[in-house]
Amino acid sequence: MRIIAIANQKGGCGKTTTAINLSSALVKKGQKILLVDCDPQSHATMGLNVKTAELESSMYNVITPKEHERLPLKDVVVSVKENFDLAPSSVILSAVEQELSGLDGREDRLMQALEPLNNSYDSIIIDCPPSIGLLCFNALRAAQEVIIPIDMSLFSLRGVSKLLEIVILLKEKLGHTITSRALITMYDLRTKYSRRVFDKVKEQFGEDVFETVIRYNIRLRETVDYGLPISDYDKHAIGSKDYEDLAEEIIGSETSAHLREKPLSEQAIHDVLKKTEEYIDLMQKSPEDLTSTVDTDESNGNSFSSSYTKMIQAIAADPAAPVSEDETEQ
């Protein structure tokens, strides 16, 4: 049974959208899926048209240390459709981190709750909260893989950095190795800026970025109002095609981390973390600093091109300015 966490501490990067639509796409590929909503905001729950006010139990009852309120995970699961189950969240889940504070084994609550399911599902997808806390730590501890959505912004890259720090911590302190991969979301094909940043992320993270890119699509936003995955709302939308491609890529990959011939090494994680921090530092530099410090030799694979430098300078000078005509496809 494959367990995949979807995580980034930045909200609005497509984390819950990916959790919902990847789950649905995997179901369409013949898998039986459980989506675990570990976000107290309950966006995955509401995004599947499950009314939180009508729930008798939720993930809070699974993780809480209060024995009189605790339930096995299978008792809180609701069916979304055939072969697609949901372990819903509710706002009360936000209290569980304080309840678990100081307790032994607090980081293993979710992992222990998932163990009795054995091979009841082909894959379990965990939607993490947009924060680095005990709930996120529980999800990463339970998972074999983590998908990190990146919406091409500085804050998303910061989220990558913080998550990789947790991956290192899990490796060093608990001996738990996770396969980590970035997923580009909200990619706008119309702008040269998106393509350039995407190329740079691919250059920095190498094979640890999905080939599939989730393109910007208004239909994905509309699905929230209807409580449906994109494949059920509009199967012809580009968002539906993108998540189908992502599901195929995941199914075709070397499955979970414990089956991977060469799990991401500690040195590789440190290297990616270092590259991420360097990229963040570069994005934060002023236009004057960029002019003096960025190597514009395009033959250097580790440097930005001169055109990329000019684009970064323009954005740094006026972040609110619209994309100019020369930065879009004609």
- Strands 179-184, 145-150: parallel, antiparallel or unpaired by DSSP? parallel
pLDDT score, position 64: 95
The tokens for 259 are 């089956």
Q: pLDDT tens-digit profile of 84-115?
A: 999 999 999 999 989 998 888 888 999 999 99
Instruction: Evaluate whether 162 touches 127 at the Cβ level (below 8 Å).
Output: no
172-211 pLDDT, tens digit each: 777 788 888 889 998 887 887 777 777 777 776 778 889 9
**Whole-prediction pTM:** 0.76
Range with the poorest average pLDDT among 114-118, 120-124, 160-164, 212-216: 160-164
Give the span between the Cα atoms of 303 and 98, in whole angstroms: 45
CA distances from 193 to 43, 58, 168 (A): 30, 42, 31
Count of Cβ atoms closer than 10 Å to residue 302 Cβ: 9
In this structure, the strands spanning 145-150 and 78-81 are unpaired
- Domains for the chain: give ranges and CATH numbers: 2-264 (3.40.50.300)
In the block, which residue shows the tokens 């936000």? 94
CA-based torsion, 32, 163, 148, 254: positive or negative: negative
pLDDT in tens, 53-81: 999 999 999 999 999 999 999 999 999 99
Burial 243-271 (b: 16+ CB within 10 A, else e): bbbbbeebbeeeebbeeeeebbeeeebee
